[in-house]
Structure 1
Amino acid sequence: MKSFLLLILSLMAGCEVSSEVKGCERGWVELTCKYPRADQEYQKIEVIKPRGKNIQSTEKDVWEKKGRFSLYHDARNKNLRMAIKQLKSDDSGKYNCKFYQDKSLEEPDELELKVVKDGCQTPFTQTAYETAKTTITCDYPNEYNSSVKFICKDNNKICEEILSTQSSVKSNGTFTLTDTNSFNVSISNVSSQHAGVYWCGVKSNEGNYRVSLRKIQLQVKNIKSFKRSPTSGQNLTYWCVYPQSAPIKKFICKGEDPSICQPLWSTLKPGMNTGKFSMEEDTNRRNITITVRDITTDDAGTYWCGGVNTDNKRSKTFFHKLEMTVVPQTRSPAERNAIIITVICVAVLLLVLILVLIYTRCSKYKTNEEGLDNAEDFVYEEQPHKPDSGTALKTIYVSVKHPTNPSAFTHYSNINHPTSPGEVSGDTYSTVKDNGQYSTVNHPSRCSENPLYSTVNKPQEH
């Protein structure tokens, strides 16, 4: 197979240079004619086309658009750049650049263009998602391994070069050349300003031509995203809802860049739904259930839910984005189980102690209440007394009931009364003995026929 792009430089008499360049139909080519003499200034440059009307450049350092043709007289770099877009087979032929100094004509610079169909790559539509990464892949046949590869963005006038293998700079902050062999260029933190038409191409080392090989239409869209932070050792289940027009084959992949993310599960491969990952599709609800089992810190990252398009001219379609962070465990499962059992046992023990305390307090309160009732009944005893006709004092023993609490009251008291009121003059005092302590009872000297009552009160402790 002949080279897709063949450049033959031959030095001719009179410094005439002839070159042959192959360009793809519907692509573009940029040809450069150098000044015949670098020490001269040229006021006008005319391009003689193989057919059709010739075109002239009358201004300097600006692009002049002439239909599908554009001219740029670069006075600083001493050349004329001519770009042809939407190449057609009729564009094939020899192009002559004529340089005019006043009215004199210098030796022309000649370039030959050949427009072909074979070997040209199909245009590709790639979808990128805001704030994510995306990678544009330029596949070059082996015959271009020695050629200078580049990627550029179309600005409606010219394709502005972004990165090339000729330059020592492999990144400009946003765009990064990640693979020089297949020429992969990644775009970080994608935004709407990155949307547009990009071209993969090759150029000569001498810089007298650039040719496009593949057109990439980059679309930028929003995507539904959510975050989850499971703990290591747990299972995570989440859902992916897809539109009615979604591709039949659904899949889950992992990676910051969805265009090159690693596939993990697919609805068309049931055998993948075992072990750590699984997914189940509900076509009626247009929903996919994804489960990640026994999560570890290695599972942290970005997951994409998407579908594979049957059209090989389009990239994969994505529906949802999951950002997973994993919280590490501080204890092993056995330790966690032991802690749980300990907590349950302590809780049960505390509950039992609380119930015992409540029961004890209620019992004491009931006992004290009964003792106080008995004290009300028996601390004070009113004993009816009727004196006898005799004159001698007689000892009367009275049993007094007291509450069951022995520390509060004394069980027995001895009370002495006179046997005959007639033999007693003045007030009569009776002594009440209470466990070694004495209390005095005052009886009036005048007695009536009514029964005499004596009140016995337990003396206060000193």
Structure 2
Amino acid sequence: MWSHQHIIICTALSFVISAEGLIEVFGYEGRDINVSCHYDERFKDSEKYFCKNDCGSSDVLITTKQKNKGKYSITDDIKNRIVTVTISDLQSHDAEKYWCGVTVWGIDTYSEVKLHIKEDRCCDPVNKTQSIEEGSVTISCPYDSQSVNKLKFLCRGNRPSTCRQQAVITSNNTQNGRFRLSDDRKSRIFTVTISSLTLNDSGSYLCGVQRNSGSDDFSAVELEVKEWCCVESKDMSGIVGRAVTFQCPYPRHHHNNMMFLCKGDQRSNCTYITYQGSVTLHNVNATFFSVVITKLKSEDSGTYWCRSDPKWSVGNYTQFHLTVEEEEQRGVSEESIIEALYWLFAALPVLLLILIIILVKVCKPKRRQLKVEAAVDMNTSKLEAADAQDVTSGEDLYQNYDDPAIRSQQRACKEQRSVQFFEDYEDEAQYGNISTTEDIYRNEFFLKTQS
């Protein structure tokens, strides 16, 4: 056929003029596109090809005998009488006129193909919407009157080329997990509601309406999911029977609002706590309020939330994680050790003073007892010395015994020594603050024996 170039050209022009319809195909840069052409049953065993321009020998891009050639590939579905050509990695210069041809005896037959190339991105303008973590959001997607009965869908990302194939929900299946689609045909708006939002739901979305011819119709949405940004998240601990205080900051413009405290793993299903009994509200000022639980129980452990707005909104609440322990189960903390050492060093001087006083009290009586014993020994020595003197003067005593004057003198000396002994003894006893009955009787016996 390619040797009869002029016949092909004329046939092509005639075909274009007499053709009942034009095959228009829309593709996206960087993506692949399939071009499908029907043929009569009588041509099922004929060679098919895909060409451009005038379909001269240099314009033929691929034939069914080649299967693959460069960026083109071809398949022939004989049963359904459809030949399909795939063009990969589309570029803007690929947008032109093509022909699907069938080789027959005499004049080949052709189908005209018009390829349109678009950027694989969408769209201007972009509708922006916001919501909060764990909340919900509704995306509105308007469409024209010609699309009332068409397929509607929503996909993630910003690539129209794969949107319908990767749709998260369509009008044929209006509920898909967290996604729900509703179509208000009177207002010509379909909406998609996303519940239980997470931070990962942030990003670009495309609302799509399928077209029977041409590219699908899209509108772009940018969703921002904000984190439930606590003023602060705190870990707290308490002891059974003791008190704990939750200090909850809040925005200044919430000063006249109700102050809430609730308990639960999730803020969306927590149980609100009433301020009565052991739970009281304190110190409401311009920046924070305090909630005090005076007598903790083991079951008070858990997650708490406090807020200052009837509606949960970003930045107006604080999260607490409270752990309540039995007192004997609490380990010795570093603060407890430091406190014990502080009090030990503070009390050390007092302990030393008490120890010194005790030592003085114990040692003083022993010292006095030693002094008394020394005094008694001294007096005993004096008496023995006096006796010795009397013995040495015994000869004189016997010699002068008969002399009355001498006997009177000796008696006076003995009485004087006895009086001196008692005076000395009383002085020593008074100094030592000790006097015993045994010593008194001993001295009286001594005086009797001497008289």
Q: TM-score range by the shorter chain?
A: 0.3 to 0.5
More helix by share: 2
TM-score by length of 2: 0.40
More strand by share: 1
Work out which of the two has the higher radius of gyration on C-alpha atoms and give 1 or 2: 2
TM-score by length of 1: 0.39
